[in-house]
Amino acid sequence: MSVPGSVLVVGASAAGLGTVESLRRKGYSGRLTVLGAEIHPPYDRPPLSKQVLSGAWQPERTPLRPQEALAVLDAEFLLGDAAVALDAGARSVRTASGRVLGADAVVVATGLRPRTLPGQEELRGVRVLRTLDDAVALRGAVAQASRIVVVGDGVLGAEIAATARQSGPAVTLVGPQPAPMSGQLGPGPAVLLAELHAEHGVRLVSGTAVAGLASHQGRVTGVRLPGGATLPADLVVVAIGSVPATDWLAGSGLEVADGVVCDAYCRAAPGIFAVGDVARWYHRTLGTSLRLENRTNAIEQPAAVASVLLGEDRPYTPVPYFWTDQFGAKLQVYGTPAPDDEVTVVEGSERDRRFVAVSSRAGRATAVLGWNMPKQARLHRQALIDDGAHRPVSGR
């Protein structure tokens, strides 16, 4: 494929910005357009559940780049206008305001939408956290709340519970796993995380799905459990995962199956690519199709696609990585631990809550977890590449 004369990026968050920055950094001089559904210039999402929710950062601190840095990219940012349809053959995108944008190549970076519980939209006192506006609204709601229930025990739910608890109200974290983030950390470290939450006064209701929301006169009053009990709440935060934002691709001709289905080069169709949370691509080293919802993927995948657009033969084969900060503990995870992996502490000690643990299966490293040892964890990351056995994560 020859280098496209113009590239349209649909989505103006980290992965969208990463696409245009990578292209310019690699010397691309064609026309660049970035379409974003939100009115905000590209902003940083990981702080939303931490610094923004706690109030430590004002929203003005969240943009990923100062205005001058965006200006020198020489890309046209069309913000506050969502894509509503793609014609993959013509490589043209129609927007909510009626624009029709065409380009030689289109990069889909529309991210995720939060999953919701049945009926939650009609109730006051129930919130999700995905966007900056969500975070600011949630911060206000937390300040007014006396009893918060967070539904969902993944990374986002655990972070929201930790941050909200530090603001004062009673917090309950409910979810289906044996301990918060069991799937992301492995069972052993997840128990340590549960202890950390319990020490700080978070009530954990683990191994429990939820049956629904309880309400009175249009306002939530709690979360119903399958056995009939209700966890009372005046604020419920729903963090039960997300779905790829692909509604607008209906009828486009692209294959969508829990994400935009792509080949090893993140190509969905001739001249159409997908990057970030929304992209399901074929990871050649792992030999499987994969979708990653993490911050580093939203940078590394656009860089790989930029190379492909400029003619390089570069399949995308990252080592999955995420971090989380809760109650002052800094956790870093490379690869993906499985429940039955053998776990060996290679530095520090769990008792001191400062350690690096390597997970392995059949003698090959599958994941590296750092607990308050970010640098040391990174130094062990190489073991995953040497062993070539980092296991994929699915949906999350």
Partner 1 sequence: MKITVDEERCCGAGQCVLIAPEVFDQREEDGIVVLLDAAPAEEQHGAVRESAGVCPAAAIQVSEAP
- In the complex with partner 1, the residue whose CB is nearer, 260 or 299, is 299
- In the complex with partner 1, the residue whose CB is nearer, 25 or 99, is 25
Minimal distance, residue 171 CB to partner 1, in Å: 23
Q: Check if the beta carbon of residue 311 is closer than 8 Å to that of residue 3.
A: yes
- In the complex with partner 1, the residue whose CB is nearer, 130 or 378, is 378
Minimal distance, residue 43 CB to partner 1, in Å: 9
CA distance 199 to 180: 14
Q: What angle do CA 42, 9, 108 make, to 5 degrees?
A: 105
Q: What are the C-alpha distances in Å from 327 to residues 81, 162, 383?
A: 38, 6, 29
Minimal distance, residue 373 CB to partner 1, in Å: 7
Minimal distance, residue 294 CB to partner 1, in Å: 9
83 burial type by CB count under 10 A (0-12 exposed, 13-18 middle, 19+ buried): buried
- In the complex with partner 1, the residue whose CB is nearer, 17 or 37, is 17
CA distance 177 to 156: 14
Minimal distance, residue 321 CB to partner 1, in Å: 7
The residues binding partner 1 (CB under 8 A) are 18, 21-22, 25, 44, 46, 64-65, 295-296, 299-300, 303, 321, 323, 325, 330, 332, 370, 372-378
- In the complex with partner 1, the residue whose CB is nearer, 18 or 271, is 18
Minimal distance, residue 283 CB to partner 1, in Å: 19
CA distance 160 to 17: 26
Minimal distance, residue 316 CB to partner 1, in Å: 14
- In the complex with partner 1, the residue whose CB is nearer, 23 or 238, is 23
Closest Cα partner for 322 from 295, 341, 302, 343? 295
Minimal distance, residue 20 CB to partner 1, in Å: 11
- In the complex with partner 1, the residue whose CB is nearer, 285 or 296, is 296
Closest Cα partner for 150 from 53, 62, 217? 53
CA distance 98 to 234: 41
Kindly give, in sequence order, each residue whose CB lies less than 8 Å from that of residue 44, ignoring residues fewer than 6 positions away.
14, 62, 63, 64
Minimal distance, residue 371 CB to partner 1, in Å: 11
Q: What angle do CA 181, 187, 193 make, to 5 degrees?
A: 50
Helix axes 14-25, 297-309, angle to 10 degrees: 40
219: number of Cβ within 10 Å:
11
- In the complex with partner 1, the residue whose CB is nearer, 17 or 245, is 17
CA 167 to chain centre: 24
- In the complex with partner 1, the residue whose CB is nearer, 165 or 295, is 295
Minimal distance, residue 376 CB to partner 1, in Å: 8
CA distance 29 to 45: 29
- 207 is written with which tokens? 């191994």
- In the complex with partner 1, the residue whose CB is nearer, 149 or 155, is 155
Q: Check if the beta carbon of residue 10 is closer than 8 Å to that of residue 32.
A: no
CA 155 to chain centre: 9
